[in-house]
């Protein structure tokens, strides 16, 4: 069949997606069946999940590792669940494309079984959402959805196919060539260099700061600007903090690395950034999490902001000088302009001492050899076990705090992906990440509270032989919420804990029931061999680590209230 020959919509869609180099798509039955069969013929593997949200999370994890769109699909009645699953990819800036079916126009507005309007469901979680009424429209709209998902700030898009299972579009004919893009380009698709005058002005301002801190964010990570930012920090003697999502952007043991800033932070980063007389935000959205509700740095701090999205410049901090451009290319040019200035390194040395002192306080917990297992010890063992190109996929809440403060990364090949807010995201996302990882080892870090959300995907992992290592911090409850419950109950022992406690559950037995191997870890010395065993395996493995609800994750430093 030539590219100009007529083909049905299912064949066109399958061939077009396969032409992008896509390896997997994620779906929940029953939708686009003809397309899924044709995708299999093209060498693209359809992954059947057990819920629409899990399919969306798998596509999200796939997209974040691949740097290219991930595809998820559901039929009409599952559209609401699929839309809910896009919240995390929207917040996490992942280029996911969702396909849904809907009943034909003659069925609309007539109380059709299971049918609700789809457009409002997707409005808040997509950059672009459109109905596909005919097969003739499919090539144009898919190309637009693809471009929109990748362009500027990458985020989800959505196409709503005519037909309960998208079958009206699948059965129609088109003579268009099955091509989505002229060349394969990952995010960021475009790398605009900021205006030369803006870069020069920013350089002059930065050189005038005595206590300059850098905060690098998720857009800097997407831009792969780690080496440029590290070189700039060295030239300016500026300590570097990151957002949680950008944790692995630079080597976390570098002398200028101070950790994650904001609310999911260990104490050093906030102390250091708060004491700066100027802060350089690079690809950082200055939201409440990274700034501890706009306290880190103080709201009146002088700011220079390098940001690809002009709408983010000065969004939260009024005293901002903006530089609109791709972080990687713009920081590289900034480095050329400032050269190798003579700088006072006392602030950077002070920052390094603060970080070193804090790390020393953590050492007894890292080395703890008695029960219950310290999560700090677990994180240290993961740091040692993670391959040089390994990937960590972490849940939100305490899983994000533990991994963002206690697991170290080499900044040169290891990847850190974290939930942008949706508890339970990590396990399905780690399966999608593994599908995109091309042999790299993936470790999911989740608590038992998060793992319960998508337990059935153990069966999916076994069925498709997805070799993800799933580490469960099994403390029989929502550990992050313990302090709040105690505070509300007047700190009376045990009162209110039924609101957050559950279990205990042996997840190795649960895994076994799904046909998945599990390793139970109840003593600190068992962690390292369990991780080594799991990471060697060519199959999914659950590493169930029994910890306690009481220990607190590192808490952020905050300024004294006036």
Give the residue-averaged pLDDT of 90-111: 95
Partner residues linked to 482 by β-bridges: none
Instruction: Give 74-89 pLDDT, tens digit per residue.
Output: 999 999 999 999 999 9
| Residues above pLDDT 90, as percent of the chain | 93
| Per-residue pLDDT at 1 | 41
In the predicted model, what is the mean pLDDT of the chain?
Answer: 96
| Per-residue pLDDT at 562 | 64
C-alpha to C-alpha distances, 106 to 109, 111, 160, 161, nearest whole angstrom: 8, 11, 16, 14
Looking at the predicted structure, is the pLDDT value of residue 560 above 90? no
Q: Which domains does the chain have, with CATH numbers?
A: 7-174 (3.40.50.970), 196-351 (3.40.50.1220), 367-546 (3.40.50.970)
Q: Report which DSSP code applies to 497.
A: G
CA distance 274 to 518: 44
CA distance 546 to 560: 36
Looking at the predicted structure, is the pLDDT value of residue 471 above 60? yes
Cβ atoms 139, 16 nearer than 8 A: yes
Beta strands in 106-256 (DSSP E): 128-132, 157-162, 173-174, 212-216, 240-242
Q: Look at the alpha carbons of 373, 378, 380, 384 in this order and tell me if their dihedral is positive or negative.
A: positive
Residue 70 CB coordination number (10 Å): 33
Looking at the predicted structure, is the pLDDT value of residue 512 above 90? yes
Query: 155-170 burial, b for 16+ CB within 10 Å, e for fewer?
Result: bbbbbbbbbbbbbbbb
Give the residue-averaged pLDDT of 196-207: 98
- Which has more pLDDT, 371 or 351? 351
Partner residues linked to 72 by β-bridges: 26, 98
Cβ atoms 163, 73 nearer than 8 A: no
| Per-residue pLDDT at 5 | 83
Helix, strand, or coil (residue 281): strand
Where residue 43 falls (left for φ over 0; alpha for ψ -120 to 50; beta otherwise) is left
Cβ atoms 474, 511 nearer than 8 A: no
Phi, psi torsion values for 216, nearest 5 degrees: -100, 140
| Beta strands 278-282; 212-216: pairing state | parallel
| Per-residue pLDDT at 490 | 81
Cis status, amide bond into 384, omega within 30 of 0: no
Count the helix, strand and coil residues of the chain and give each as a percent rounded to the nearest 5.
40, 20, 40
- Which has more pLDDT, 170 or 109? 170
CA distance 326 to 336: 16
Helices (H) and strands (E) in the chain, counts: 22, 20
Cβ atoms 283, 216 nearer than 8 A: yes
Looking at the predicted structure, is the pLDDT value of residue 26 above 70? yes
Instruction: Give 264-303 pLDDT, tens digit per residue.
Output: 999 999 999 999 999 999 999 999 999 999 999 999 999 9
Burial of 556: CB neighbours in 10 Å, binned 0-12, 13-18, 19+: buried
Give the residue-averaged pLDDT of 34-59: 98
What pLDDT band is residue 561 in, cutting at 50, 70 and 90? confident
Query: Taking the mean position of all CA atoms in its chain, how far away is CA 461?
Result: 20
Residues written for the chain: 562
The DSSP-derived string for 308-376 is: SSGGGTTSS-SSEEEEES-HHHHHHHHHHHH-S-----HHHHHHHHHHHHHHHHHHHHHT--SSSBPHH
Q: Look at the alpha carbons of 500, 461, 416, 524 in this order and tell me if their dihedral is positive or negative.
A: positive
Instruction: Give 400-428 pLDDT, tens digit per residue.
Output: 999 999 999 999 999 999 999 999 999 99
Give the residue-averaged pLDDT of 520-537: 98
Cβ atoms 160, 100 nearer than 8 A: yes
pTM above 0.85, yes or no: yes
Cβ atoms 7, 174 nearer than 8 A: yes
Partner residues linked to 74 by β-bridges: 100
| Per-residue pLDDT at 152 | 86
CA distance 127 to 112: 28
Cβ atoms 548, 376 nearer than 8 A: no
Q: Give residues with Cβ within 8 angstroms of 411, minimum separation 6.
A: 226, 230, 248, 249, 250, 251, 252, 254
Cβ atoms 29, 50 nearer than 8 A: no
């Amino acid at each position: 069949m030539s590219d100009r020959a007529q083909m049905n919509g299912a064949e066109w869609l399958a061939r077009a997606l396969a032409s992008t180099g896509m390896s997997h798509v994620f779906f929940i039955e029953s939708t686009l069946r003809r397309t899924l069969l044709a995708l299999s013929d093209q060498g693209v593997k359809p992954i059947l999940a057990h819920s629409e949200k899990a399919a969306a999370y798998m596509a999200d994890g796939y997209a974040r590792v691949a740097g290219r769109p991930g595809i998820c699909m559901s039929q009409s009645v599952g559209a609401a669940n699929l839309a809910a699953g896009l919240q995390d990819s929207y917040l996490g800036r992942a280029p996911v494309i969702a396909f849904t079916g809907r009943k034909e126009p003659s069925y609309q507005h007539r109380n059709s079984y299971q049918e609700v309007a789809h457009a409002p469901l997707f409005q808040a979680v997509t950059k672009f959402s459109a109905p596909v009424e005919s097969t003739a429209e499919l090539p144009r709209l898919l190309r637009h959805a693809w471009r929109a998902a990748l362009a500027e700030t990458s985020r989800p898009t959505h196409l709503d196919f005519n037909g309960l299972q998208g079958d009206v579009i699948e059965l129609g004919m088109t003579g268009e060539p099955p091509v989505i893009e002229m060349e394969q380009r990952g995010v960021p698709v475009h790398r605009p260099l900021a205006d030369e005058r803006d870069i020069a002005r920013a350089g002059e301002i930065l050189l005038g700061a005595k206590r300059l801190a850098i905060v690098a964010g998720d857009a800097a990570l997407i831009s792969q600007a780690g080496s440029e930012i590290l070189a700039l920090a060295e030239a300016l003697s500026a300590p570097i903090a990151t957002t949680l999502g950008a944790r692995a952007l630079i080597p976390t043991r570098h002398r200028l690395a101070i950790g994650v800033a904001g609310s999911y932070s260990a104490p050093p980063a906030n102390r250091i950034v708060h004491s700066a007389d100027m802060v350089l935000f690079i690809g950082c959205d200055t939201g409440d999490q990274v700034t501890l509700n706009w306290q880190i740095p103080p709201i009146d701090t002088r700011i220079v902001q390098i940001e690809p999205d002009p709408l983010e410049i000065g969004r939260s901090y009024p005293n901002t000088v903006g530089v609109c451009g791709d972080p990687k290319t713009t920081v590289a040019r900034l480095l050329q302009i400032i050269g190798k200035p003579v700088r006072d390194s006392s602030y950077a040395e002070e920052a390094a001492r603060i970080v070193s002192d804090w790390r020393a306080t953590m050492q007894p917990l890292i080395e703890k050899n008695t029960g219950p297992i310290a999560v700090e010890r677990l994180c240290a063992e993961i740091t040692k076990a993670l391959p040089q190109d390994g990937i960590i996929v972490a849940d939100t809440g305490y899983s994000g705090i533990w991994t963002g403060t206690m697991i170290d990364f080499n900044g040169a090949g290891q990847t850190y992906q974290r939930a942008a807010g949706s508890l339970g995201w990590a396990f399905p996302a780690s399966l999608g990440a593994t599908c995109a990882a091309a042999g790299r080892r993936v470790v999911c870090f989740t608590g038992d509270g998060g793992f319960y959300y998508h337990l059935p995907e153990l069966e999916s992992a076994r069925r498709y032989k997805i070799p993800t290592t799933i580490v469960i911090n099994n403390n029989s409850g929502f550990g992050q919420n313990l302090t709040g419950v105690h505070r509300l109950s007047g700190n009376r022992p045990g009162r209110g804990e039924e609101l957050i406690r559950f279990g205990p559950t042996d997840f190795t037995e649960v895994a076994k029931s799904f046909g998945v191997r599990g390793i139970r870890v109840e003593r600190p010395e068992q962690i390292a061999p369990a991780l080594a065993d799991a990471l060697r395996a060519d199959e999914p493995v659950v590493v169930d680590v029994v910890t306690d609800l009481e220990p607190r994750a590192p808490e952020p430093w905050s300024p004294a209230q006036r």
